[in-house]
Amino acid sequence: MMQQHDTLGRKIADIHAQIQTHVGNVGRIGIALYNADSGQLSTFIHSSDEQVPLERYQAPLAEVPSLRQLHESGHSRIIDDMATLADSPSEHTRRILAAGYRSSYTCPLYARGELLGFLFFDSREPGHFREDVTLELDAYAQLIGTLVSHAFSATRALRSAMALARELGRHRDAETAGHLNRVAHYTRSIARALPQDMGHSDEDIEFLFQFAGLHDIGKIAVPDRILLKPGKLDPEEYEIAKSHVQKGSEMIEAMMREFGLANEHYAQLLLDVIACHHERWDGLGYPNGLAGDAIPLAGRIVAVADVFDALTNPRPYKRAWTLDEGLAYLREHSGSQFDPQCVAMAERCFDDWRAIHARFHQPGTA
Active-site residue list: 219
Determine if the peptide bond prior to 287 is cis (ω within 30°).
yes
Plot region of 110 (φ>0 → left; ψ -120 to 50 → alpha; else → beta): beta
Report residue 290: phi and psi, to 5°: -70, 155
Rounded distance between C-alpha atoms, residue 9 and residue 112, angstroms: 22
Q: Where are the beta strands (DSSP E) in the chain?
A: 28-35, 40-48, 58-60, 77-79, 103-111, 114-123
Handedness of CA 95, 98, 99, 103 (dihedral sign): positive
Mode of pairing for the β-strands spanning 114-123 and 103-111? antiparallel
Rounded distance between C-alpha atoms, residue 284 and residue 216, angstroms: 19
Q: Which is nearest to 353 in space by CA: 340, 363, 343?
A: 343
If residue 147 lies in a helix (H) or strand (E), which one and from where to where? helix 131-169
C-alpha distances (whole Å) from 186 to each of 214, 265, 285, 308 are 14, 23, 21, 9
Residue 177 identity: A
Q: Which is nearest to 120 in space by CA: 181, 68, 78?
A: 78
Rounded distance between C-alpha atoms, residue 246 and residue 150, angstroms: 29
C-alpha distances (whole Å) from 71 to each of 39, 108, 175 are 13, 6, 36
Residue 292 identity: G
Cβ proximity of 74 and 29 under 8 Å: no
C-alpha distances (whole Å) from 270 to each of 273, 276, 282, 355 are 5, 10, 23, 26
Q: Under 8 Å CB-to-CB from 98, ≥6 apart: which residues?
A: 53
Q: What is the DSSP letter of 284?
A: -
